[in-house]
Structure 1
Amino acid sequence: MCESIEVLVEQKTKQLAPPLTHDRHKGQAGRIGVFGGSLEFTGAPYFAAISSLKVGSDLVYIFCTKEAGVVIKSYSPELIVLPILDQPNPLEHIEPWLERLHVIIIGPGLGRLESTFSVIEQVINTCRNKKKALVIDADGLIFVSQNPNIIKDYPAPVVLTPNVMEFHRLVGESTGDGTKLERSAAFLNNVGNNITILCKDHDDEIISKGKIVKVSGGGSGRRCGGQGDLLGGSLSTFLAWALEKQYDPNVACFAACKLIRECNARAFAKFGRSMTATDMIHEIHGVFQDNFELK
Structure 2
Amino acid sequence: MLTLVNVLGRLSRRSFTFPTATQDLTSWSQPGDVSFEPLSSKLLQALSWCIPALTYDKHKGYTGAPHYAAISALKCGADLATIITTESAAIPIKSYNPEHIVLPWLEGEDAVKNIIDSLPKFHSVVLGPGLGRDSKQLQIAERLIYEIKERGLPLVIDADGMYLITQKPDIIKGYDKVILTPNAAEFDRLYTVVLQKAPTEGEPIIDVKRLARKLQVTILRKGFIDIISDGSESLVVNTEVSPRRSGGQGDILAGLLGVFNYWMHVAQSMPHMINERHMGLYGPTLLAAVSACALTRECNKAAFDKHGRSTLATDMIDEIGTVFVDIFGKDRTAGIYS
TM (normalized to structure 1)?
Answer: 0.81
* Match for residue 250 of structure 2 among 220, 224, 228: 228
Moved more, 227-236 or 164-173: 164-173
**Residue 257 of structure 1: aligned partner:** 293
Deviations 1:189-228 (A, max 9, x none): 3322xx1111111111111133221111232011111000
- 1:168 pairs with 2:188: yes
**Residue 88 of structure 1: aligned partner:** 109
**SS of the residue 1:115 aligns to:** helix
**AA in 1 matched with 2:223:** D
Unaligned runs of 5+ in 1: 1-40
Deviations 1:76-125 (A, max 9, x none): 11010001101213111111211121110010011001111010011111
* Percent identity over paired residues: 42
**AA in 2 matched with 1:180:** P
**AA in 2 matched with 1:207:** S
Deviation at 1:143, TM superposition (A): 0.3
Distance of aligned partners of 1:190 and 1:89 in 2 relative to their CA distance in 1, 3 Å threshold: farther
**Residue 153 of structure 2: aligned partner:** 132
- 1:64 pairs with 2:85: yes
In 1, Cα distance between the equivalents of 2:290 and 2:118? 29
Preserved contact between residue 90 and residue 102 of structure 2 (Cα < 8 Å): yes
Larger RCO of the pair (alpha carbons < 8 Å, separation 6+): 1
Preserved contact between residue 63 and residue 82 of structure 1 (Cα < 8 Å): yes
The 5-angstrom pairing of residues 192-203 of structure 1 reads 192=216, 195-203=217-225
- 1:79 pairs with 2:100: yes
The 5-angstrom pairing of residues 239-278 of structure 1 reads 239-246=261-268, 247=279, 248=283, 249-278=285-314
Q: CA RMSD in A?
A: 1.8
Distance of aligned partners of 1:275 and 1:178 in 2 relative to their CA distance in 1, 3 Å threshold: closer
**Residue 36 of structure 1: aligned partner:** none
In 2, Cα distance between the equivalents of 1:254 and 1:91? 32
In 2, Cα distance between the equivalents of 1:253 and 1:58? 20
**SS of the residue 2:66 aligns to:** helix
* Match for residue 287 of structure 1 among 323, 329, 332: 323
**Which of 1 and 2 has greater Rg?**
2
Deviation at 1:175, TM superposition (A): 4.4
Deviation at 1:183, TM superposition (A): 2.0
Distance of aligned partners of 1:187 and 1:204 in 2 relative to their CA distance in 1, 3 Å threshold: closer
Deviation at 1:132, TM superposition (A): 1.4
- 1:103 pairs with 2:124: yes
Moved more, 143-152 or 215-224: 215-224
In 2, Cα distance between the equivalents of 1:230 and 1:135? 12
Preserved contact between residue 226 and residue 236 of structure 2 (Cα < 8 Å): yes
**Residue 212 of structure 2: aligned partner:** 188
Preserved contact between residue 208 and residue 221 of structure 2 (Cα < 8 Å): no
Deviation at 1:176, TM superposition (A): 4.4
In 2, Cα distance between the equivalents of 1:171 and 1:180? 11
In 2, Cα distance between the equivalents of 1:92 and 1:42? 26
**Residue 234 of structure 2: aligned partner:** 212
Deviations 1:34-86 (A, max 9, x none): xxxxxxx7620000000000000101110101110000000011010001101
**SS of the residue 1:59 aligns to:** coil
Deviations 1:121-162 (A, max 9, x none): 1111111211111100000000001100111222x4100011
**AA in 1 matched with 2:326:** D
**SS of the residue 1:202 aligns to:** coil
In 2, Cα distance between the equivalents of 1:70 and 1:106? 20
**AA in 2 matched with 1:129:** E
In 1, Cα distance between the equivalents of 2:208 and 2:300? 28
**AA in 1 matched with 2:215:** V
Preserved contact between residue 213 and residue 230 of structure 2 (Cα < 8 Å): no
In 2, Cα distance between the equivalents of 1:152 and 1:163? 19
Deviation at 1:237, TM superposition (A): 0.8
In 2, Cα distance between the equivalents of 1:211 and 1:186? 11
TM (normalized to structure 2)?
Answer: 0.71
Deviation at 1:185, TM superposition (A): 4.8
